[in-house]
Amino acid sequence: NLVTQAGLGNNFFVTVEDLNEPRGERATKWLTELNPDVKGGSLNEKPEMVIETNPDYFRNTDVTLVIATQLPEPTIAKLASILHTHNIPLLVVRSYGLIGYVRVQAPSYAIVETFPDQQVEDYHVLNPFPELEHFVESVGHPDSITDTLEHAHIPWVCLMVHYLKKWKQENKWEGSELTYKQRKEVMELVKGGKLKEDEENFQEALTSGTKINPPQIPSALQDLMASPETELVNGSTEPFWFCMNALKQFYSTHKRLPINGKLNDMTSTTGWFIALQNVYAAKAQQDLEKISGYIKESINHLKGTGKPTVDVPAEYISLFCKNVWNVRYARFRTVQQEVDPGSAMVSMLSKELETDEPTVVWYLLLRAGDRFYAANNRFPGDTETVLEADVAQLAKCLKSLLQEMGVSQSVDAEYVQEWARYSASELHNISAVLGGVASQEAIKMITQQRAPMNNTLIFDGINGTMATYEL
């Protein structure tokens, strides 16, 4: 495409001097000036032609990620099929009136660094490991520490280990979790140990009631541990599955996950805090060595049987253990699976359409609009004179799409009318939102850090809401 007069008004990366010049070439020039370390190139051909006549272009140009914008479904389906063959991630972005659409297709991959908003805290206060018990004993019995300053700086972890041990002895308790009533009884013991009302360490202990019981293993991690790939029956070339196999063995033996060695800030003397931190760090190192041992055994076994294997770097194992509570493995449905009526997510679509103001309806209209385009070589509503007729034809396209997928629910006529009114217009504010979302997803896939969305996001600019669906 060439730079047009209209393009000067909606594209930051072209100037009036670029008028009637190839848009890709001129935009590349200005984009690369933003960062001298970045190199860029352009191909002055229509995407449809490249996909049809030169599919090897994507394989031969060392592509890391393809971002496709404003392309209709048939073109996207062909592109997605090519990229899937070459294991190249695809990010589809479309801005249509007040609606935005982002779709991710990528090969399956492990995510060890997910950077969750809240880290799991597992201090093992209910059933402490021997090294922690020994440290608590070295700190001393809280009741025997009469110095008020020292008493007010006993780490809350030590307080909880001490009073839990006292409660368990008094109640002859042996188990893995306390009930709510039992936790309240422990907290009464903690309250009774105060020398002064304003001791912050005791307050920290009293607010840690939810940290007494071991945290539940996330369902996503349980699913990974139960995954067939974890068994390594046919070998593997992914370090992640060797780590998961080792984790499964570790959990089977110790009935817990490896300690990550992290200790959050707490009221304490510097000496006690550093010593306590070292206790957890040393235990984390022991756990890491056990995981590494399991991995080494698996690799040696597979090598002996002639099955595929891979060396797992020590840094990777360490990173896995530190983030073990939040590791993920991303699996994506392909675009072909999505558009094939036989594998469409009919149940989910039907359920969503029964809700009030279903966001998924815009996804269905996007696909119906592409059918309209395929039949007319234009999008519905491009002129007011044909708007009414276009609405009727668009409704037929939508009905045909729903019937092919086996979706029995219907879509209100007002949605169809609204879609026709958009006439495939691109609004700068909607595009800005999509650009922010797409750039984040691109970084996630390139770095393989943070969990990506799976796999479709619809932005409703009318209500200012977003929804994600696995389509």
Q: What is the pLDDT of residue 21?
A: 86
Distance CA 267, CA 273 (A): 8
For the segment 302-310, the average pLDDT, to the nearest whole number, is 90
Higher pLDDT, 4 or 329: 329
d(CA 452, CA 149): 48
Q: Is the pLDDT of residue 29 over 90?
A: no
Q: Does pLDDT of 11 surpass 80? A: no
Confidence at 10, pLDDT banded by 50, 70, 90: low
**pLDDT one-digit tens code per residue, 131-151:** 999 999 999 999 889 899 999
Rounded Cα–Cα distance for residues 373 and 369 (Å)? 6
For residue 264, cis peptide bond before it (omega within 30 degrees of 0): no
277-311 in b/e burial notation, b at 16+ Cβ within 10 A?
A: eebbeebbeebbebbbebbeebbeebeeeeeebee
User: Is the Cβ–Cβ distance between 43 and 24 less than 8 Å?
Assistant: yes
Report residue 67: phi and psi, to 5°: -110, 115
Pick the CATH number of 45-107+334-469 from 3.40.50.720, 3.30.70.20, 3.90.1150.10, 3.30.67.10: 3.40.50.720
pTM of the model: 0.85
Q: Is 80 a residue whose pLDDT tops 80?
A: yes
364 token code pair: 């269905």
Min mean pLDDT across 354-368, 380-394, 447-461 is at 380-394
Residue 2 CA to residue 132 CA, distance in Å, equals 70
| Residue carrying the six token digits 């922010």 | 436
* pLDDT interval class at 426 (50, 70, 90): confident
CATH 3.40.50.720 residue ranges of the chain are 45-107+334-469
